[in-house]
């Protein structure tokens, strides 16, 4: 124990002059990272930013972790969060998943104050779609001039279920803010500048950026100073009340609905008594009310009147968002990887879109069909409507949200707003 103390004391004493050392003391724990002479980077993996969200903390807002004495090895990624539809036997995932990784140039010091790239992974809010992204390549691409933070946040029912009473809504988004608060407290010790944090992400990660900017009515808590968002994804947004059917159905499948199990004082207590494997066995998507089939991603952030006070379009239209410079882009052909390749009729195209956006009225679907006529001359043939539905879905889900947010940034006079669109070559067949 005394040897460990001496090692930490020495490393802290010389860090300002010799660069950030492998051993770093955070506000809650001491971590030993690993450097790479090959690429000139140092990384600290699997550091806790919140308490394990298990037991009584399941479905609760993230809490501070319990501090651990002594030096903890930070050589391995933490397990990432359980996904909707995923096997409970996947040993890389766990309900105990609130970890982050920090990557820094080896020659950075505590006085370097390098910009921080805070990467929010995608996955439709139903999975951690980019777990364990290697931040070293980003540092190399920046000519060793940034610090990179990656992290896991709760998804599916673990992050986005609510009962309108006991369960805090939008816990997955609160996890993101908890990680951002960790960065504010600790990142200078890794060579980063807490006053120059840039959010980055794609798909649901980019959607998260749009929601974090609009959080709490757009109040600026100083957690970030810029953002880079690719393929901002707008899904169907429900209120807490409208999402109640998801909670009711989930509890019923697990035998926890009212009247199903008298051994517990509430359905929530029953849910918390289940193992993660039991939850995962019933963790699958169901249709929105009025839809014929389940959406690609059912669990999503909800308008709760607090963290999220309105649907995203309205929040930006009213100027209720943090005004920071943004880089916003999307992919050409962005809808093709999501839509069914066997879509063969207009009816199937409309059905897919309605399953994703159940509030679409017949007249609105008719308008979409006029705006996106089917140009495939092979009809009738298997898959001949795939390109048509892909174009419509890609614009609705990704292209239009990004363009709209860009226009509102411009309208509000936000300096430093940029747009881009790379071309992705995908076969039309």
My answer on whether 41 and 152 are in the same domain is yes
Pair type for strands 93-94 and 226-230: unpaired
% of the chain exceeding 90 in pLDDT: 88
* CA-angle at 83, arms to 150 and 139, nearest 5°: 15
**pLDDT averaged over every residue in the chain:** 93
Q: What is the spatial order of strands in the sheet that 71-73 belongs to?
A: 23-26, 29-32, 71-73
On the question of pLDDT at 241 being above 80, the answer is yes
Q: Is residue 405 part of a domain?
A: yes
Residue 41 pairs with which residues in a beta bridge? 36, 105
Q: How confident is the model at residue 154 (pLDDT cuts 50, 70, 90)?
A: very high
Q: Is pLDDT above 80 for 12? A: no
Range of the domain at 367: 325-420
The residue from 222, 238, 254 where one domain ends is 238
pLDDT value at position 89?
A: 83
Inside any domain, residue 319: no
Give the CATH number for residue 53: 3.40.50.1820
Same domain, 99 and 217: yes
Q: Kindly state whether residues 87 and 224 are assigned to the same domain.
A: yes
Q: What is the pLDDT of residues 374-418, one digit of tens each?
A: 999 899 999 999 999 999 999 999 999 999 999 999 999 999 999
Whole-number pLDDT of residue 17: 45
Check residue 13 and give its pLDDT: 43
- Name the residue with higher pLDDT: 427 or 391: 391
| Burial class of residue 281 (count of CB atoms within 10 Å of its CB; 0-12, 13-18, 19+) | middle
Four-CA torsion 259, 265, 270, 272, nearest 10 degrees? 160
For residue 411, being part of any structural domain is answered with yes
182 occurs within a structural domain: yes
State which of 204, 238, 272 marks the end of a domain: 238
Q: Do 205 and 335 share a domain, yes or no? A: no
Q: Tell me, yes or no, whether 136 lies in a domain.
A: yes
pLDDT in tens, 321-346: 999 999 999 988 999 999 999 999 99
Are residue 232 and residue 355 in the same domain, yes or no?
no
Helix or strand or coil: residue 354?
helix
Task: Say how far apart CA 77 and CA 33 lie, in whole Å.
Answer: 11
Q: Is there a single domain that holds both residue 8 and residue 138? A: yes
For the segment 23-49, what is each residue's pLDDT rounded down to a tens digit? 999 999 999 999 988 999 999 999 999
pLDDT at 4: 44
Task: State residue 263's pLDDT score.
Answer: 79
In percent, the amount of the chain with pLDDT more than 70 equals 94
Which of 197, 218, 238 terminates a domain? The answer is 238
At residue 180, the pLDDT reads 98
Q: What does 381-400 look like in DSSP terms, one character per residue? A: STTTTHHHHHHHHHIIIIIH
- What does the alpha-carbon distance between residue 422 and residue 424 come to, in Å, rounded to a whole number? 6
pLDDT, mean of residues 209-229: 98
Whether 231 and 377 map to the same domain: the answer is no
Q: In this predicted structure, what is the pLDDT of residue 19? A: 66
Please report which confidence band the pLDDT of residue 199 belongs to, taking 50, 70 and 90 as the band edges.
Answer: very high
Q: What is the pLDDT of residue 6?
A: 40
In this model, does residue 126 exceed pLDDT 80? yes
What pLDDT was estimated at residue 373? 96
Q: Is the pLDDT of residue 9 over 80?
A: no
Q: What is the pLDDT of residue 389?
A: 98
* Number of structural domains the chain divides into: 2
pLDDT at 15 over 60: no
DSSP E strands: which ranges in 281-423?
Answer: 302-303, 326-329, 417-420
Query: Residue 18: what pLDDT?
Result: 55
Q: Do 233 and 329 reside in the same domain of the chain?
A: no
380 found inside a domain: yes
In a domain, 184, yes or no: yes
Asked if residue 216 is part of any domain, the answer here is yes
What is the reported pLDDT for 264?
87
Question: Do 226 and 361 reside in the same domain of the chain?
Answer: no
Say if residue 195 is in the same domain as residue 330.
no
Q: What is the pTM of this model?
A: 0.93
End-to-end Cα spacing for the chain: 65
The model's pLDDT over 270-301, given as tens digits with 9 standing for 90+, comes to 999 999 999 999 999 999 999 999 999 999 99
Which tokens belong to 117?
């790239």
224 and 335 both lie in a single domain: no
**Which pLDDT belongs to residue 424?**
58
Instruction: Give tens-digit pLDDT for 57-103.
Output: 999 999 999 999 999 999 999 999 999 999 878 899 999 999 999 99
Mean pLDDT of all residues in 123-129: 97
Q: Is the pLDDT of residue 14 over 80?
A: no
Q: Is 234 in the same domain as 330?
A: no
């Amino acid at each position: 124990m005394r040897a460990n103390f001496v090692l930490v004391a020495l490393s802290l004493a010389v860090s300002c002059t010799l660069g950030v050392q492998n051993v770093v003391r955070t506000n809650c724990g001491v971590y030993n990272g690993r450097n790479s002479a090959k690429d000139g980077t140092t990384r600290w993996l699997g550091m806790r930013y919140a308490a394990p969200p298990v037991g009584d903390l399941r479905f609760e807002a993230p809490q501070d972790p319990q501090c651990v004495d002594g030096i903890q090895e930070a050589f391995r990624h933490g397990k990432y969060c359980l996904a909707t539809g995923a096997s409970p036997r996947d040993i890389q995932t766990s309900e105990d998943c609130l970890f982050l990784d920090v990557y820094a140039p080896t020659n950075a010091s505590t006085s370097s104050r390098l910009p921080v790239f805070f990467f929010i992974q995608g996955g439709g809010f139903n999975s951690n779609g980019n777990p364990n992204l290697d931040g070293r390549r980003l540092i190399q691409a920046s000519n060793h001039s940034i610090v990179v933070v990656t992290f896991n946040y709760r998804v599916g029912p673990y992050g986005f279920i609510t009962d309108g009473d006991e369960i805090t809504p939008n816990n997955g988004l609160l996890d993101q803010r908890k990680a951002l608060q960790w960065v504010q407290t600790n990142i200078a010790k890794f060579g980063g500048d807490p006053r120059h944090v840039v959010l980055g992400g794609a798909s649901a990660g980019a959607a998260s950026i749009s929601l974090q900017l609009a959080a709490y009515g757009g109040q600026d808590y100083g957690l970030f100073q810029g953002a880079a968002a690719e393929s901002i994804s707008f899904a169907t947004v429900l209120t807490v009340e409208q999402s109640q059917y998801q909670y009711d159905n989930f509890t019923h499948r697990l035998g926890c609905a009212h009247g199903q199990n008298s051994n517990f004082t509430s359905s929530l207590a029953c849910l918390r008594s289940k193992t993660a494997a039991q939850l995962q066995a019933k963790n699958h998507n169901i249709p929105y009310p009025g839809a014929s089939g389940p959406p690609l991603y059912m669990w999503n952030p909800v308008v709760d009147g607090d963290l999220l006070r309105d649907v995203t379009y309205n929040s930006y239209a009213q100027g209720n968002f943090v005004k920071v410079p943004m880089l916003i882009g999307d992919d050409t052909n962005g809808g093709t990887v999501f839509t069914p390749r066997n879509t063969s009729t207009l009816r199937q195209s409309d059905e897919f879109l309605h399953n994703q956006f159940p509030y679409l009225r017949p007249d609105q679907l008719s308008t979409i069909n006029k705006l996106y006529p089917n140009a495939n001359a092979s009809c009738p043939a298997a898959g001949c409507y795939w390109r048509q539905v892909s174009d419509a879905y890609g614009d609705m889900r990704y292209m239009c949200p990004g363009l709209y947010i860009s226009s509102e940034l411009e309208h509000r006079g936000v300096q430093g707003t940029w747009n881009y669109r790379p071309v992705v070559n995908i076969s039309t067949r």
